Chain A
Amino acid sequence: MHGRRRQQEREPTQDELQQAKQRVDRYRALNSHVMDLKATSVFTNDALDATKRLLEQNTELHTVWNYRRTIFTSLDEWQCQDTRQQMLDGELNFLLGIITKNIKSYWMWNHRMWALSSLPRPEWQRELGLVAKLLALDARNYHGWDYRRFVVAQLKDAATDKHEVDTQEFAFTTEQINHDCANHSAWHNRSKLLPEILAQRDEDGQLEVLQTENDLILNAIYTDPDDQNAWLYYDWLLDIQKSDEDRCRLLRNKIAAIRELLELEEDSKRPLVELVSAYAELERLQSGSVSEPEKKECLETLRRLESIDPYRVGRYTDMSRTLSKQWALGA
């Protein structure tokens, strides 16, 4: 359904038609067979095998995944911890073997979570390693990240030192970001962990963490001023500051950084948008802190943005109108 190129069509040969029909017939036969077994509540190893053969061909058959789970739990072997462990270890291997068929399949990930949750002796650390490998192949796969958060939650649950789990996860995101500071998924995960990290520290420790964070995000901004996510993260850091004073200080830092970037490239869209929103926020926090020339510069910048970034002209005209009203300036 996604990303398949159209190809020049020619009439298929008799042979090709025959092969296609056979493929369809085989698939339909297997599908009917499995659905018949399900309808008659057959919970045997043969049925298990049939579901496996079908799911290998089509990972999206959630009804068949449901049936497979029901067969597992109905078998005698399920009742004994050791054989259950064996069955599910095998299941995890099976899933690993087919994960690359469709790395974005909700049903496969759900089934894996079920298998892990049903294991007498789940190896959560090994899962963590596995998902790290997967994310190395596709750093933005949100199924992978969701699954990682699920595994980490289990580890945290079982851990004596829950803070340590958070610290290690936080370090994982640092590693990902140092490897590629444009990895939004890593920044996102980081944003969920940072409050936990901060909660572990005293006031001085918190300031230290926030300063490090500030440096990290500024680095990302300088590396790619067009990366919208870096600026959003910066704004969020403002949100979690302890005082308006700290916020204003950071806003002034932000403006200084933008000025530097604009010296290198004066029509750089994102820094220009951020300049206006920084001044707007500054004035909102501390009325009178933004000068008249700076306010005029903001409106002029918005006018320039209408040409630099014409698709979003509606946004810039809205911002102009709002600021003009708020600052009681002529339009």
Chain B
Amino acid sequence: MTMFGTNQLLVDKHVEFIQNLDKKQDGLEYWMTEHLRVSGIYWGLVALFLLDRPQALDHEQIIAYVRGCQNADGGFGGHTHHDSHLLYTMSSVQILSMLNALDQIDGKKVTKYVLSLQQTNKQTNGQTTVCGDVWGEHDTRFAFIAMAVLSFFNTQDQLDTNGIVEYIRGAMNYDGGFGSKPGGESHAAQVYTCVAALAVAGRLDVVDRDRLSGWLAERQLLCGGMNGRPQKLEDVCYAWWVGSALDILRRRHWISAEKLVEFVVSAQDEKGGIADRPGDVADVYHTCFGIAGLSLVRYPGLNEVDPVYCMPRSVVRRLGLHKWQDNVPKSWSQ
């Protein structure tokens, strides 16, 4: 069944796949995903950078487009004329930093936008929430994004970091995992955002390292793929969500890298792109996180990805953002 007995990553095919994304304008799906175009570009760009083909897309064109997605409030929408949201602000800032164009936007405006979403006057139990946009949804993803985005502009000390850390602590559950908000069930993607947020905040002491590492390690199923929580199906994107969290916890070796590689590689479409699982339709999201997951386990030929920022380590280093590593508890040596 598999053509990937040698565990071959079809690099050229994936590059082509990403380059062709913007050409699929005959399909309804292209237009129905317009609202998250900026994130789609981010996913494609990360994949290309990790595949060491950063020039495969037109940088100037992307920069111009992303800048066009910034609104008067300083935030970014998922597409031009779409309302600002932290999700798309994050993708935009990540894109511009990878393309070395962060200086083309006003960091103060972005900082002001992010700070406006922090709810410091509604603290319960000392917890400070961050909303995704002006409509009030709060989620640990947004707590992470607030800290990460401001770290790009070195303005993170303007946040109520202690309050945000308490919110994240409140989202921790009996299994050591984290949910979308205090009370929310543990889910691997939320585990990544919370652990990454705590890494940026220098507060990994909050984590129950052993319990969480154990929970994360159990995400790997017999097929080699990971699921997002117990009893759920394997999915390529968890190679990233689970792998990155384990990496930050310095427990990457608690899963089988070999089996994970087998799984991700078998989820490739021979025509290009990676799907959520073998035999399914490929998309840029799973292509990104599949490749990022492979990078985490040091698949040969890939550039190293930073487990907190999901960007090439070289970019993170250039921006001085790698210093989160200095705050990993010393007792956690890999």
Given contacts A140-B231, A314-B254, contact A185 B185 (CB under 8 A): yes
Interface centre among A63, A189, A227, A313 (most CB of B within 10 A): A63
Shortest distance in angstroms between A181's beta carbon and chain B's nearest beta carbon?
A: 12
Q: A60–B277 Cα gap in the complex (Å)? A: 23
Q: A13–B285 Cα gap in the complex (Å)? A: 30
Interface centre among A58, A189, A311, A312 (most CB of B within 10 A): A311
Spot the interface stretch: A24-32, A44-52, A170-178: A24-32
Q: A227–B231 Cα gap in the complex (Å)? A: 9
Encoded as 1 (CB less than 8 Å from any A CB) or 0, chain B from 98 to 136 comes to 000000000000000000000000000000000001011
Shortest distance in angstroms between A119's beta carbon and chain B's nearest beta carbon?
A: 16
Q: Is the CB of B32 within 8 A of A188?
A: no
Q: Which of B35, B77, B135, B211 contacts A60 (CB 8 A)?
A: B35
Set of chain B residues within 8 Å of A185, measured between Cβ atoms:
185
Set of chain A residues within 8 Å of B36, measured between Cβ atoms:
60
Set of chain A residues within 8 Å of B220, measured between Cβ atoms:
311-312
How many chain A residues sit at the interface, stated as a range, is 35 or more
Q: Is the CB of B135 within 8 A of A69?
A: yes
Nearest A-chain residue to B141, judged by Cβ:
A106
Q: Dominant SS at the A interface?
A: helix
Shortest distance in angstroms between B54's beta carbon and chain A's nearest beta carbon?
A: 25
Q: Is the CB of B35 within 8 A of A5?
A: no
Given contacts A4-B280, A311-B259, A312-B217, contact A184 B230 (CB under 8 A): yes
Nearest B-chain residue to A109, judged by Cβ:
B137
Set of chain A residues within 8 Å of B230, measured between Cβ atoms:
184, 227-229
Q: A274–B216 Cα gap in the complex (Å)? A: 16
Of residues 119 through 174 on chain A, the ones whose CB sits less than 8 Å from some CB of chain B are: 140, 142, 145-146, 149
Nearest B-chain residue to A317, judged by Cβ:
B253
Shortest distance in angstroms between A200's beta carbon and chain B's nearest beta carbon?
A: 19
Q: A21–B30 Cα gap in the complex (Å)? A: 12
Q: Which of B181, B218, B235, B256 contacts A146 (CB 8 A)?
A: B181
Q: Which of A35, A188, A311, A312 contacts B173 (CB 8 A)?
A: A188
Of residues 205 through 245 on chain B, the ones whose CB sits less than 8 Å from some CB of chain A are: 211, 213-215, 217-218, 220, 224, 229-232, 235
Set of chain A residues within 8 Å of B83, measured between Cβ atoms:
62-63, 66
Set of chain A residues within 8 Å of B232, measured between Cβ atoms:
140
Given contacts A6-B275, A20-B27, A145-B185, contact A63 B231 (CB under 8 A): no
Q: Is the CB of B253 within 8 A of A314?
A: yes
A2 within 8 Å of B (CB atoms):
yes
Encoded as 1 (CB less than 8 Å from any B CB) or 0, chain A from 282 to 311 comes to 000000000000000000000000000011
Set of chain B residues within 8 Å of A229, measured between Cβ atoms:
175, 230
Encoded as 1 (CB less than 8 Å from any B CB) or 0, chain A from 56 to 99 comes to 01101111001001000000000000000000000000000000
Q: Is the CB of A312 within 8 A of B254?
A: yes
Q: Is the CB of A310 within 8 A of B184?
A: no
Set of chain A residues within 8 Å of B229, measured between Cβ atoms:
184
Q: A142–B230 Cα gap in the complex (Å)? A: 13
Q: Is the CB of A21 within 8 A of B31?
A: no
B255 within 8 Å of A (CB atoms):
yes
Nearest B-chain residue to A61, judged by Cβ:
B35
Q: Which of B183, B281, B285 contacts A4 (CB 8 A)?
A: B281
Q: Is the CB of A58 within 8 A of B283?
A: no
Set of chain A residues within 8 Å of B173, measured between Cβ atoms:
188, 191
A279 within 8 Å of B (CB atoms):
no
Shortest distance in angstroms between B127's beta carbon and chain A's nearest beta carbon?
A: 14
Q: A116–B186 Cα gap in the complex (Å)? A: 26
B28 within 8 Å of A (CB atoms):
yes
Encoded as 1 (CB less than 8 Å from any B CB) or 0, chain A from 180 to 206 comes to 001011001101100000000000000
Set of chain B residues within 8 Å of A228, measured between Cβ atoms:
215, 218, 230
Q: How many residues of B contact A (CB 8 A)?
A: 59
Set of chain A residues within 8 Å of B259, measured between Cβ atoms:
311
Encoded as 1 (CB less than 8 Å from any A CB) or 0, chain B from 275 to 307 comes to 111011101011000000000000000000000
Set of chain B residues within 8 Å of A191, measured between Cβ atoms:
173-174
Q: Is the CB of A311 within 8 A of B256?
A: yes
Set of chain B residues within 8 Å of A110, measured between Cβ atoms:
135, 137
Q: Is the CB of B276 within 8 A of A1?
A: yes
B269 within 8 Å of A (CB atoms):
yes
Q: A236–B28 Cα gap in the complex (Å)? A: 48
B37 within 8 Å of A (CB atoms):
no
Q: A196–B194 Cα gap in the complex (Å)? A: 25
Set of chain B residues within 8 Å of A2, measured between Cβ atoms:
235, 276, 280
Q: A145–B31 Cα gap in the complex (Å)? A: 31
Given contacts A146-B180, A228-B230, contact A5 B279 (CB under 8 A): yes
A23 within 8 Å of B (CB atoms):
yes
Q: A202–B30 Cα gap in the complex (Å)? A: 60
Q: A236–B179 Cα gap in the complex (Å)? A: 17
Given contacts A232-B215, A312-B255, contact A63 B26 (CB under 8 A): no
Shortest distance in angstroms between A50's beta carbon and chain B's nearest beta carbon?
A: 16
Q: Give 9 closest A-B pairs by Cβ, nearest first.
A: A314-B253, A236-B174, A311-B256, A4-B281, A315-B254, A63-B83, A63-B82, A232-B175, A188-B185
Additional A-B contacts beyond A106-B137, A311-B224, A312-B217 (4; CB < 8 A): A24-B31, A62-B35, A66-B135, A315-B254
| 9 A-B interface contacts by CB (under 8 A) | A5-B279, A6-B281, A27-B28, A62-B83, A66-B83, A114-B136, A142-B185, A189-B185, A228-B218
